[in-house]
Amino acid sequence: MKSNLLFQAFTKFFLGVILLGTLVFLPAGSFHYWQGWLLMGVLFIPMFIAGLVMMVKNQELLRKRLNAKEQEKEQKTVVALSGLLFIAAFVVAGLNWRFQWCVLTNWAVWVAAALFLLCYGLYAEVLRENTYLSRTIEVQEHQKVIDTGLYGVVRHPMYMATTVLFLMMPLVLASPISFAIMLLYIPLIAKRIRNEEAVLEQGLEGYGEYKQRVKYKVLPFIW
């Protein structure tokens, strides 16, 4: 199992590197797009480290994170639309840099990169707190409600971290146009959360009571 999981993890990782590089640098028409390299670094270096840690300490969690095949029909639609949104945002970012339509200043890019890494830290903390985390919507055997740490503040701290991560990506790429495109991710993740909570409330004991205790879904005092 370990060798197969390792092969699967490395394959998906390198395919992700190639795909993102193609979507960013091909439209840019140059490898001198330094903001593209910056995004590749802040995204894939922590991802590689996190993968190694999970491989050593929690292979089952890594297996769950690698499984992206949704069973819920509604979630398949959300995933497909999200994929198209990301492709559009990355391609437009490359074109934006190539033709210099509206490029952010360097300091704004670095601030976005710092926020990106901060949210990556939150993402890692959520993975530490909740070993049931899967990339698909499901109720797992022996799963229980997690209500400590960040889960005592909002019901979906993973979405809190990843939503900010995704919104920072276009800014790291110095493209406010792509940021405007990526804002469309918010209604998509809201739709995903509604469906996920319906599944959890139906199949996970105690989730209804947890919803009553923790009022906010993603952002404290806001959402």
Structural domains of the chain sorted by starting position, each given as residue range(s) with its CATH number in brackets: 2-213 (1.20.120.1630)
| Statement: residue 133 has pLDDT above 70 | no
b/e string for 63-93 if b means 16 or more Cβ within 10 A? bbbbeeebebebbeebbeebeebbeebbbbb
Cα 65 to chain centroid, rounded: 11
Give me the chain's average pLDDT, please.
86
* Nearest by Cα to 189 from 154, 152, 214: 154
Q: Using DSSP, how many helices (H) and how many strands (E) does the chain show?
A: 9, 0
Q: How far is CA 108 from the centre of its chain?
A: 21
End-to-end CA distance of the chain: 40
- pLDDT higher than 80, residue 151: yes
Mean pLDDT, rounded, for 168-180: 98
Query: CA-to-CA distance for 98 and 92, rounded, in angstroms?
Result: 10
Query: What local confidence, expressed as pLDDT, does residue 128 receive?
Result: 78
Q: Is residue 138 pLDDT above 60, yes or no?
A: no
> Among the listed ranges 54-58, 123-127, 133-137, 172-176, which one has the minimum average pLDDT value?
133-137
Q: What's the pLDDT score for residue 72?
A: 59
Residue 170: pLDDT band (50, 70, 90) is very high
- For the chain, percent of residues with pLDDT exceeding 90: 44
* Centroid of chain to Cα 78: 14
Which pLDDT band, with edges at 50, 70 and 90, does 51 fall under? confident
pTM above 0.85, yes or no: yes
Mean pLDDT of 71-97: 87
